Amino acid sequence: MKTNFAVKGTIKLGVLCLFFVQIGWSQNSDQQQLKNIYDAALTKGKSYDWLNYLSNQIGGRLSGSIQAQQAVNYTKQELDSMGLDRVWLQPVMVPKWVRGIPEFAYFETSPGVTTNVPLTALGGSVATPPSGVKSEIVEVKGLEELAVLGASKIKGKIVFYNRPMDPTLINTFAAYSGCVDQRYAGAMEAAKYGAIGIIVRSMNLRLDDYPHTGSMSYGDLPEDKRIPAAAISTNAAELLSATLQLDPKTKFFFKQNCKLFPDVESYNVIGEIKGSTHPDEIIVVGGHLDSWDLGDGSHDDGAGCVQSMEVLQLFKQIGYKPKRTIRVVLFMNEENGLRGGNEYAKVAMEKNENHIFGLESDAGGFTPRGFSFDGPDSSFEKIMGWKDLFEPYLVHLFEKGGSGADIGPLKNERITLAGLRPDSQRYFDYHHAENDTFEQVNKRELELGAATMASLVYLVDTHGLNP
């Protein structure tokens, strides 16, 4: 019996040793593969060249525009050239809102004494009358203060929303979330009290002269009750607020010519490498191809699109053959409708596709810091086991939280969704503004982000997310 126990003990010890040897081999293999990915991204990457073309040859890609269609054609052509297993366009109806001729605005402290201010129409806004809108101003810090003032103070006036982003929040997206409601719902709420227009302080942490656009909504307001909505730069907001303290009777004038047309057909651009052993398990990586029209959309979200394309290009570059199907999706119409993300999820459900993981890049092309995850706790625990692999690349942030707007509609109780989280301190300097241009993107930071995304996709594909 003693001999049998000794033999069994030896066998168990041997199995245990083999188990740890396999773990060590797997870790070494993963370390080497991540190094291959990063090396390829930094020496043979194409993301910067792709972004250069999107930004400088095509420009801003507002949904329904000629430039958006040019971006569809260009990215499909580039995906076709990569030798993927399949590339296709997924039709989707999108809104077509046109800004028109440049906006104009000033405030007037006494007859004939005016100061021009930088202003841009909010996406989806109606136009002013042809002669513009001019009235006294009511400054508020948010929707709650508007409700307190009520119609007696608001009717016939222009409402000036002037709640700044909170500079004490290190997470700048939290600061953005803390005040974006005044941009999105400001016109809808002010119209209920008889306002004739609204202007909003731009969602920007620094003081500059760039007004930032963005989506807004009228809710279920009838068309004849809708009022024009625009954003002014942060410098202009500071100056206007100071002027109002000295002279509450100051008047504001603005004129804009935007118009909403009937929906038009556009496309999500999709390419995939078919999985070798689990082809029915789909991993999605993507960004949104549309952008606002003021700049060329390099950070928001040209960077995310080219980084997502680069994931598949890097796998081709290093000769990695995925076990699961890896699919890149360049979504259309995230900025003013989310039609592309919703359509993709709808078609996936109709086809009963099994998406196990989704990763989105929509926070700019800055230095990657990590990821946020939305999914089962068991998947997050497994992913946390890979965190050490990213530390040599200074990627440390692995947290539960949101993922991305376009992949959000895929959410169910099984899938894990993730968002790339770059350093965000400069993001809102450019977000939805004229200065979101190619020159503001650093080549190395962009490439590091693509490599970080490809590395996470590789680990999910190789090891799966089942507990």
Q: How many CB atoms lie within 10 A of CB 80?
A: 11
223 Cβ neighbours under 8 A, 6+ residues apart? 126
Q: Which of 78, 139, 272, 334 is catalytic?
A: 334
> What's the alpha-carbon Rg for the chain, to the nearest Å?
25
Tell me which DSSP letter residue 456 carries. H
Give start and end residues of each alpha helix (H) in 131-281: 143-149, 151-154, 172-177, 181-192, 234-246
Rounded CA-CA distance 310/287 in Å is 12
Q: How many CB atoms lie within 10 A of CB 25?
A: 10
Residue type at 335? E
250-267 burial by CB neighbour count: b if 16+ within 10 A, else e?
bbbbbbbebebeebeebb
Rounded CA-CA distance 73/290 in Å is 13
For this structure, is 335 an active site residue? no
Query: Strands 197-201 and 259-273: what pairing?
Result: unpaired
**Nearest one of 204, 277, 258 to 234, comparing CA atoms:** 204
Return the active site residues. Answer: 334
